[in-house]
């Protein structure tokens, strides 16, 4: 290709999502999807969608959808910003709120998309090393900065940081927007800090329907913050794409937020299987971080976990391994159904023998 032409092309280093293998007999425990289907109301609503409706642009107010979010969290309709998956919401937040020469702070071991967005938007950033036990180093978030983003529970460690520590970081950074990415918060005992948006004007809480609500396929996420920051976010979004929530997503997400009984049942099952998985692995010499998510982060000092990861793949069992030096002997394993976890455990036993 023409050398001058090549110079004009983007050379951005993208986020690499987990593999999406397809086929019978595959046990897929690598992208933190929910092993259970979305609630029956979603399936019903999908069948009832009229094709005719799709000829017009979607409704971008999404009143009913926002109302349902208000039923689940202590927020008002004018404190909600909707997006096409929380990845999009987070990217728009980076553009909307991180406009300083000073570096944006996030943990060094965390969701790898954050550094992709700082690169994408040319935002300066600085990573804060976690403590030895992978908990958050609070002090590291008190230096001068252009903004802060922290997932709670963190990924891929699955560790939940106590509300008090998170609140301290928010309260001691009044001049910066602090984004708390709660992608996995529904699997924690302590729950969301959403109500703190009424106490701190610099707080943005981001959530998704991809994990706990089993709706990764519709791409739906949202931010909760005060109306002033919502307005800034809307401005950024409307400078790029006004219609991020498509008609099908709007209808299905509204259903996905209902049926608390089904939701609690599925989340409860995942938590139970999480404990079973952790206990079984412990019998095999694995050490697992305390998990508040729908995945675990585990290591076995006696073996090469990367080789185990490769071996499991040959057995059609997919988990996640990260090439980063501090964590390259760890595996991140999504909590699947009990049946899937039994297959995984048996394959690990086979490998150890
Ligand atoms: C999965 C995940 C997201 C993004 O989820 P969407 O599917 O884009 O809503 C955001 N943050 C973290 C930490 C995640 O693990």
Give per-residue pLDDT as tens, 26-52.
999 999 999 999 999 999 999 999 999
Range in 252-256, 273-277, 322-326 the model is least confident about: 322-326
Helix (DSSP H) and strand (DSSP E) numbers for the chain: 11, 12
Ligand 1 residue neighbourhood (C-beta within 6 Å): 85-87, 111, 151, 155, 181, 183, 208, 210, 216, 221
Gap from CA of 209 to ligand 1 centroid (Å): 9
Gap from CA of 293 to ligand 1 centroid (Å): 12
Measured distance CA(100)–CA(89) in Å, rounded: 19
- What would the two tokens of residue 23 be? 């086929």
- What would the two tokens of residue 136 be? 């958050």
- What would the two tokens of residue 157 be? 């460690």
Which residue's C-alpha comes closest to atom 2 of ligand 1?
183
Gap from CA of 87 to ligand 1 centroid (Å): 6
With a pLDDT cut of 70, the percent of the chain lying above it is 100
Measured distance CA(39)–CA(257) in Å, rounded: 9
Looking from the CA of residue 31, the nearest atom of ligand 1 is 1
Which residue's C-alpha comes closest to atom 11 of ligand 1?
183
Give pLDDT tens digits for 87-108.
999 999 999 999 999 999 999 9
Angle at 156 between CA 152 and CA 162, to 5 degrees: 25
Gap from CA of 140 to ligand 1 centroid (Å): 24
**C-alpha distance from residue 293 to each of 28, 41, 337 (Å):** 17, 25, 15
**Which residue out of 16, 30, 86 has the highest number of ligand 1 atoms within 8 Å of its CB and is therefore the one to mutate?**
86
CB atoms within 10 A of CB 133: 9
Gap from CA of 286 to ligand 1 centroid (Å): 26
Gap from CA of 185 to ligand 1 centroid (Å): 11
Gap from CA of 245 to ligand 1 centroid (Å): 17
**Which residue out of 114, 211, 220, 293 has the highest number of ligand 1 atoms within 8 Å of its CB and is therefore the one to mutate?**
211
**C-alpha distance from residue 219 to each of 23, 208, 214 (Å):** 23, 8, 11
Residues in the chain: 353
Gap from CA of 219 to ligand 1 centroid (Å): 10
Give pLDDT tens digits for 262-287.
999 999 999 999 999 999 999 999 99
- Helices (H), ranges, 150-301: 163-171, 227-237, 247-256, 260-283
**Which residue out of 17, 18, 30, 87 has the highest number of ligand 1 atoms within 8 Å of its CB and is therefore the one to mutate?**
87
pLDDT at 60 over 90: no
- What would the two tokens of residue 168 be? 């301290």
Give pLDDT tens digits for 193-241.
999 999 999 999 999 999 999 999 999 999 999 999 999 999 999 999 9
Measured distance CA(299)–CA(330) in Å, rounded: 5
């Amino acid at each position: 290709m023409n050398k001058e032409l090549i110079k004009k092309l983007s050379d951005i280093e993208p986020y690499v999502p987990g593999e999406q293998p397809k086929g019978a007999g595959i046990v897929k425990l690598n992208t933190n999807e929910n092993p259970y289907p979305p609630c029956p109301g979603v399936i019903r609503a999908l069948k009832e969608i009229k094709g005719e409706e799709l000829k017009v642009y979607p409704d971008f107010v999404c009143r009913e959808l926002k109302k349902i979010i208000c039923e689940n969290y202590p927020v008002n309709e004018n404190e909600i910003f909707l997006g096409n998956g929380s990845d999009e919401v987070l990217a728009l937040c980076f553009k909307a709120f991180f406009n300083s020469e000073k570096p944006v702070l996030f943990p060094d071991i965390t969701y790898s998309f954050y550094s992709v967005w700082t690169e994408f938007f040319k935002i300066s950033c600085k990573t804060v090393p976690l403590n030895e036990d992978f908990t958050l180093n609070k002090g590291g978030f008190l230096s001068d900065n252009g903004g802060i983003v922290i997932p709670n529970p963190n990924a891929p460690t699955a560790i939940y940081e106590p509300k008090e520590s998170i609140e301290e970081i928010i309260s001691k950074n009044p001049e910066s927007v602090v984004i708390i990415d709660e992608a996995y918060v529904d699997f924690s005992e302590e729950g969301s800090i959403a109500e703190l948006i009424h106490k701190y004007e610099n707080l943005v809480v981001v959530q998704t329907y991809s994990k706990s609500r089993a709706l990764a396929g519709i791409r739906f996420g949202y931010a909760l913050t005060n109306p002033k920051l919502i307005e800034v976010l809307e401005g950024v979004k409307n400078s790029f794409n006004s219609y991020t929530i498509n008609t099908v997503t709007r209808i299905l997400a509204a259903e996905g937020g209902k049926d608390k009984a089904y939701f609690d049942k599925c989340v409860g099952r995942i938590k139970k299987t999480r404990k079973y998985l952790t206990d079984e692995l412990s019998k095999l010499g694995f050490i697992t971080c305390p998990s508040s998510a729908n995945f675990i982060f585990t290591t076995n000092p006696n073996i090469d976990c990367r080789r185990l990861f490769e071996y499991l793949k040959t057995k059609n069992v997919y988990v996640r391994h990260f090439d980063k030096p501090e964590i390259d002997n760890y595996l991140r394993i999504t909590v699947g159904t009990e049946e899937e976890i039994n297959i995984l455990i048996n394959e690990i036993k086979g490998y150890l023998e």
